[in-house]
Amino acid sequence: MKNTDTYTPRVLIVAGSDSSGGAGIQADIKTCAAFGVYSACAVTAVTAQNTLGVQRVEALSADLVATQMRAVLSDIGADVIKIGMLANGEIIRAVADVIINDAEDATVVLDPVMVATSGDKLLEDAAIDALKELLIPLADVITPNIDEAETLTDYRPKDVDGLIQAGERLLDMGAYAALMKGGHLESKSITDVLVAPDGNHIMSAPRIYSRHTHGTGCTLASAVAALLAQGAPQEIAVREAREFVFEAIRTAPKLGKGSGPLNHGLGNETVQNSVSG
């Protein structure tokens, strides 16, 4: 890993804003801070939401999203670009164009956000083809849950073997690696699979039964991005990011009446203890 005493790892977050602070850019920034990584952002949409659901969504213009990205890349730069909510096809095309022309050396972590934890839609149906064609081939790691995997691959995983099969389809579509999240499988354990060129890495842990799971996908992808920015190998980044999310759920602040936020304020010492223990 990089010597962070002499180098500041940088993550550029491209995602929507969550007014409740539990998901989206707010969760991404807090997660990067927990790992001691500098984060900048390009806001794609503004949402009015809380733990009970999304009340309103307004997407920014694709040109403004691209301009935000270029402003950061031309000055601060980015080791990793973490992509979350993109809202529509115009924004997807703009983001892909910036990555190709202005961020060729950056690692890309793609969280294909389509639906909020509450069930509210966050990506237009017409934009799915653009996501498949333009962004999946740019992804160094894509992090779909089961519903997202089904939408992208036309195949719904029903077990660990199914997660692997869906992940292999995403690699065939151009992704370098796929972190297939198995949280929606019915079992007492949470099993995720990193499908990568060097093989399949199966990771399992006891399920934490909690309603405080708002922003788990954003947080996991951002933790992976932060660790990759620090120079961690992909498998290690995924394993340590999973440990961070489990600890953030376990110590959640118990806020809100619905799906509450995680504890993103674990702090560097707690992060290091949780991911190394």
The three-class DSSP label of residue 54 is strand
The catalytic residue among 181, 182, 191, 260 is: 181
Nearest in space to 12 (alpha carbons), one of 67, 61, 60, 82: 82
Q: Answer yes or no: 213 catalytic.
A: yes
Q: Give pairs for 200-204: CB < 8 Å, separation 24+.
A: 200/164, 200/167, 201/235, 201/238, 202/160, 203/238, 203/239, 203/242
Is-catalytic flag, 218? yes
| Residue 143 and residue 179 in contact, taking contact as beta carbons nearer than 8 Å | yes
Both structure tokens of 274: 């949780």
Name 170's Cβ contacts closer than 8 Å, sequence gap at least 6: 136, 142, 144, 149, 152, 153, 178, 195
Which of 16, 22, 89, 217 does the annotation list as catalytic? 217
Specify whether 215 is catalytic.
yes
Per annotation, catalytic residue among 41, 213, 219, 260: 213
Exactly one of 218, 219, 231, 258 is catalytic; which is it?
218
CA–CA distance, 118 with 212 (Å, rounded to integer)? 12
- Among 135, 147, 76, CA closest to 109: 135
Rounded Cα distance between 235 and 200, Å, is 10
Q: Which of 84, 215, 219, 260 is catalytic?
A: 215
Which among 44, 47, 107, 216 is annotated as catalytic? 216
* 54 φ/ψ sector (left φ>0, alpha ψ -120 to 50, else beta): beta
Q: N- to C-terminal Cα distance for the chain?
A: 18
Where on the phi/psi map is residue 135: left (φ > 0), alpha (ψ -120 to 50), or beta?
A: alpha
CA angle (140, 264, 121) in 5-degree steps: 60
Instruction: Give catalytic residues, as residue numbers.
Output: 181, 213, 215-218
